[in-house]
A and B are shown apart, each in its own frame.
Chain A
C-alpha cells in the first residue's frame, strides 16, 4: 500500500478563478459585495432599495443568481443599472466561473460597485469564493433568531449582517437583540445594520457605509496604479 500525501484544496479551481477575478476588481477599484441569505430574506428587495437610492451617475452593476427564472433581474433592471441573471439550473450556489463569465466585459468598461446576489441558501454559497471584497449575510425578522447558531459558517465569514424586515417586529415574536447576540457570538467583529425595505429604515447608514467602502476601494486602486507607474 502506498500513501501519497497531498495538500490540495477541494475547490482549488474555483479559488484560482476567484483570485483572478479579485485581481481584476482590485485593478479597476470595483467594490464587489456577495449577498447571501435564505430564500425570502429580502435580498432582491434590499438591492432594489439600494439601486433606487444610488446616484444615477454611479457605475454600478448587478448579477443575480437563481435556480430558475429571470424574475429577479427583471425587477432589478427597473432602476437603470446593468443587471444580468445567472440561472444555475439546479446548482445551489454561484461559483467564480459563473460570475467571471458574466462580469468580465463590465470590468473592462470600469465599475465602481458590483452587487452579487447569490442563490437563496445559507450553506452552499459559503464555500465558494467569488472574488468579492466581502460577504454580506441578510437575515430577516421572519426567520429564527438562532439562524447564526444553526449556520455559523456564513455568519463567521461575513463582514456585514443586514437584519432585514424590521417593520415586521411588532407582528412577529422575533427578538432582534437575541439575533444580534447570536451573530456576535459567532463573529464578534461583524458589523450589523437593521433595515426595512418598506419603511426605508436603516438605509441611510447602509448607503453611507457603502459609499465609504467604495471610496476606500477606489483610493486603494489609485494608490496601486500610482505605485506601478
Chain B
C-alpha cells in the first residue's frame, strides 16, 4: 500500500503550495503516472480521497479533485499542476499560469 505514501506526498505538496497562495482553495491536482511507476490508480484514488478528507482539503465547498495523466512505457511519477479558486474574492473564470518554485 505505498499508494498511501504517494497520496500523502501529493497532498503535502498541495498544502505547501496553498500556503504560497493565501486566501485560495486548492480544487484540483494533476499527477502524471507512468506504466512502470508501480502505482495502482484505483488504490491511489481511494487513499487520496481518505487523506484529503482527513487533511481538510475536502470542505462543504467541494472536494479536492485528483486528475491522473497515465503515460504508457514510462516510469514517471510527478505532480504537474495544482488549480486553485479564490475563496474570498472570486475572480472571473479564466486560467492564469505561473511557474511554481519547487
What is A's interface to B at a CB cutoff of 8 Å? 1-13, 91-93, 123-124, 126-128, 152-154, 156-157
Size of B's binding interface in residues, CB under 8 A: 39
Chain B, range 69-96, C-beta contacts under 8 Å to A:
75, 77-86, 91, 93-96
Q: By DSSP majority rule, is chain B's interface helix, strand, loop, or mixed?
A: mixed
The reply to whether A10 and B79 contact each other, CB–CB distance below 8 Å, is: yes
The reply to whether A9 and B81 contact each other, CB–CB distance below 8 Å, is: no
The reply to whether B9 and A5 contact each other, CB–CB distance below 8 Å, is: no
The reply to whether B9 and A11 contact each other, CB–CB distance below 8 Å, is: yes
Question: Closest approach, in angstroms, between the C-beta of A105 and any C-beta of chain B?
Answer: 26
Any A CB within 8 A of the CB of B1: yes
Given contacts A13-B9, A92-B2, contact A8 B83 (CB under 8 A): no
The reply to whether A10 and B10 contact each other, CB–CB distance below 8 Å, is: yes
List 6 tightest A-B contacts by C-beta distance, closest first.
Answer: A153-B36, A124-B2, A126-B38, A8-B102, A6-B100, A127-B38
The reply to whether A4 and B81 contact each other, CB–CB distance below 8 Å, is: yes
Complex Cα distance A93/B6, Å? 13
Any A CB within 8 A of the CB of B98: yes
8 more CB-based (< 8 A) A-B contacts, given A2-B21, A2-B86, A156-B75: A2-B24, A2-B96, A4-B17, A8-B102, A10-B9, A10-B79, A128-B2, A156-B36
